[in-house]
Structure 1
Amino acid sequence: MTALKQFQRIEATGLWRPSPDEQRREVVVSIGEATLTITDFNDRALTHWSLAALERQNPGVFPAIFNPDGDPDETLELDQSETTMIEAIDRLQRAIDRARPHPGRLRWASVGGVVAAVAAVLLFWLPGALQSHVVNVVPQIKRQDIGNTILQRIERVSGRACASADAQLSLQKLADRTGVRRIVVLPAGVHESLALPGGIVLLNRALVEDNEDPAVAAGYVLAERARAARRDPLDDLLERTGPTAAFRLLTTGELTPEIVDSYSEKILSEPHPAIPDEDLLEVFAQAALPTTPYAYARDITGETVLGLIEADPMSGRPQQQVLPDRDWVRLQNICGG
């Protein structure tokens, strides 16, 4: 991103408060291409905020107070002396906004002014083709927005995602190790695991709290990767909510709260489609992770998962640690113990 070049090395100090009942603490704020990273003075990451979803509570007033979109209780205060950082945030937010699709301005494919007419024809005659077209043209940043919106709806049922400051870096390490963009641990709501659009994987807290081996939680993340590879989560959303949702997403770039609520209810209440063993074995082999711990977590007897145990791609091979013990212990306490 061109707008980032002059801000690549900017750091600032500010006051961060994760919730109203906690003390503000002095932190270091650094800026990336799409995220704002908040660390303590030992260079330990406390949280990462998406610049695209960052809000300023008091435009034109100092100290500048920022919060993640939809969570005004978590705040970051930047003094007027940190003008360079405040200007950098403003510049990058404008650049991100220019790069994302805007309602009524179709910039997702080079189809010119005939898109609306083609979309109308597809809606009435070829709904399957319309759905496939939308899945292919929706950009990654919009997928992330959709995934975050679904997550917010699910949190109304499950409770807010577990977000212990000490465990955030460990959670990101697990995401990096398993090849997904973001992992979210929920206190309830999700039976085991669930993939959302935008590379988000949800895990029930029991998968990290009740297993001594991090390979179990990692296995469930990889299983969601395999499931998403077989059926794109966005494609699944449009299939479950009908051609009206696909047409609305194509023409406005948005989904109504009713559509999101309907989809959230369905994916939380209906069983996940099964994944063939060969698909699971392939994704585990690519990640160099064993299938055996995941298999026994699914069936302690091993009877229904024998194929995953006998064909474990890491059997007899040296294995890289999923997470260091310290990181795994921190992650097990992400929901507060």
Structure 2
Amino acid sequence: MTALKQFQRLEAQGAWRETPEARLREVVVAVGEATLVLSDPKSDRPLTHWSLPAVVRLNPGRMPAVYTPAADAPDEILETDDPLMIEAIEKVQQAIAQHRANPGRLRGGLMIVAGLAMLAAAALWLPDALIRHAARIAPPAQARDVGLAVLADMQRVAGPVCQRSSGQAVLNWITPRLLEPEAAVRVLPGALNGARRLPGDLYVLGGGVLTASAGPEPAAGHLLAAHLSQTDREATLAALRHAGLGASLRLMTLGALPRDAMAGYGEALLAEPLPRPENAALLEALTRQNLPSEPYARSIDPTGASVLPLIEGDPIRQGVAQADLLTDPQWLALQQICAG
């Protein structure tokens, strides 16, 4: 059957509970010959097989989707939030039902109609679903390669990354403390009035934020804002949508993008307004770091008129003891990262 062949190699993560007393355990869900195969992700050993025609969804319209192998056996359940797998189960079940309900002379015509309908749906739905799947499963190293490709395209417009070693050493030291252990920050000369998150926990900071500030607090605020305004998966998905389906499939199968996949995307990002997180979320993050919000707010709007909630909600004004981000020599070295 067309539907079965289309989804036979599809796999997704899920959580399986064999009995009401058992704990949910992680499994790999695969579409087999009219069955769902649940396997141990560590050993690839099949744990159970469910008949697809008998599978029942217990919570239609809600996520994660919860399935049971039969209507009269709801004690055993499978949970998954993978949209590609959920769509596949529904489409394969529909195809099986149509196949059984229309025997004889009408079978061929009905199968042709069903096949054409699925092809039409696939043409609209499948490409973006595959791109989303590529962004979801990309390991950190692949996501970082995507981010570096975007950064390379940015440099065509903004100039080369600032690489003065003393300044970069300060960035490398402060970044894990400010963001995440695997995060990396690169500085572009001017061209970016703040910071932007790229795939692979890679961040780009505009050099103007450093030269126009009396201390590192505005730059720290911009980096935290970039971190909060977009997840790494969202940044990767946006980049892969620019690259297209072919490049995304190549990333999934060969582990690398075509050389020109990000051509024009970095330049387009530089032209877009920087995304901003909710004020409450940013103030909470700055409070955890013992950092003020007013320097960041003033770097966006020196008058303060459009950023008044950030100024009035400054954690330091609320009595939080301000942390010393950098020593004077460290700050001077960071300010001069684009010099020479």
Does TM, scored on the shorter chain, surpass 0.5? yes
What pairs up with 1:208-219 in 2 under 5 angstroms? 208-219=210-221
Distance 2:134 2:273 in 1: 25
Aligned residue number for residue 287 of structure 1: 289
Letter in 2 for 1:273: P
- Alpha-carbon distance change, 200 to 108 in structure 1, aligned in 2, over 3 angstroms: farther
Aligned residue number for residue 246 of structure 1: 248
Query: How far off its partner does 1:112 sit?
Result: 7.3
1:162 aligns with 2:162: yes
Aligned residue number for residue 331 of structure 2: 328
Query: How far off its partner does 1:336 sit?
Result: 1.3
After superposition, the C-alpha distances for 1:265-288 in whole angstroms (9 at most, x for unaligned) are 221222233432123223323333
After superposition, the C-alpha distances for 1:111-146 in whole angstroms (9 at most, x for unaligned) are 77989xx8x986653444333322221001111111
- Alpha-carbon distance change, 122 to 171 in structure 1, aligned in 2, over 3 angstroms: farther
What pairs up with 1:1-337 in 2 under 5 angstroms? 124-180=124-180, 181-229=183-231, 232-315=234-317, 316-336=319-339
Q: Report SS of the residue matched to 1:305.
A: helix
Distance 1:283 1:230 in 2: 17
Could you tell me which runs of 5 or more consecutive residues in structure 1 were left unpaired when the two chains were aligned: 1-105
Q: 1:241 touches 1:262 (CA, 8 Å); kept in 2?
A: no
Distance 1:123 1:258 in 2: 25
Larger radius of gyration: 2
- Alpha-carbon distance change, 218 to 122 in structure 1, aligned in 2, over 3 angstroms: farther
Distance 1:214 1:274 in 2: 19
- Alpha-carbon distance change, 216 to 245 in structure 1, aligned in 2, over 3 angstroms: same
- Alpha-carbon distance change, 227 to 123 in structure 1, aligned in 2, over 3 angstroms: farther
Q: Report SS of the residue matched to 1:261.
A: coil
Letter in 2 for 1:215: E
- Alpha-carbon distance change, 304 to 185 in structure 1, aligned in 2, over 3 angstroms: same
Distance 1:273 1:214 in 2: 21
Letter in 2 for 1:327: Q
Distance 1:208 1:271 in 2: 19
- Alpha-carbon distance change, 227 to 193 in structure 1, aligned in 2, over 3 angstroms: same
Query: How far off its partner does 1:320 sit?
Result: 1.2
Distance 1:287 1:108 in 2: 37
Letter in 1 for 2:315: P
Letter in 2 for 1:135: A
Could you tell me which runs of 5 or more consecutive residues in structure 2 were left unpaired when the two chains were aligned: 1-9, 14-27, 33-83, 89-118
- Alpha-carbon distance change, 133 to 260 in structure 1, aligned in 2, over 3 angstroms: same
Distance 1:335 1:145 in 2: 24
Letter in 2 for 1:221: L
Letter in 2 for 1:299: D
Q: Report SS of the residue matched to 2:264.
A: helix
- Alpha-carbon distance change, 189 to 174 in structure 1, aligned in 2, over 3 angstroms: same
Distance 1:177 1:199 in 2: 14
Letter in 2 for 1:225: H
Q: Report SS of the residue matched to 1:207.
A: helix
- RMSD, aligned CA: 3.3
Q: 2:192 touches 2:205 (CA, 8 Å); kept in 1?
A: yes
- Alpha-carbon distance change, 331 to 111 in structure 1, aligned in 2, over 3 angstroms: same
- Alpha-carbon distance change, 126 to 232 in structure 1, aligned in 2, over 3 angstroms: same
Identity of aligned residues (%): 33
Q: Give the TM-score taking structure 2 as reference length.
A: 0.59
Q: 2:162 touches 2:187 (CA, 8 Å); kept in 1?
A: yes
Q: Give the TM-score taking structure 1 as reference length.
A: 0.60
Query: How far off its partner does 1:319 sit?
Result: 1.4
Distance 1:141 1:107 in 2: 21
Distance 1:252 1:123 in 2: 23
Q: Report SS of the residue matched to 2:322.
A: coil
- Alpha-carbon distance change, 192 to 123 in structure 1, aligned in 2, over 3 angstroms: farther
Aligned length: 232
Letter in 2 for 1:325: D
Query: How far off its partner does 1:193 sit?
Result: 2.0
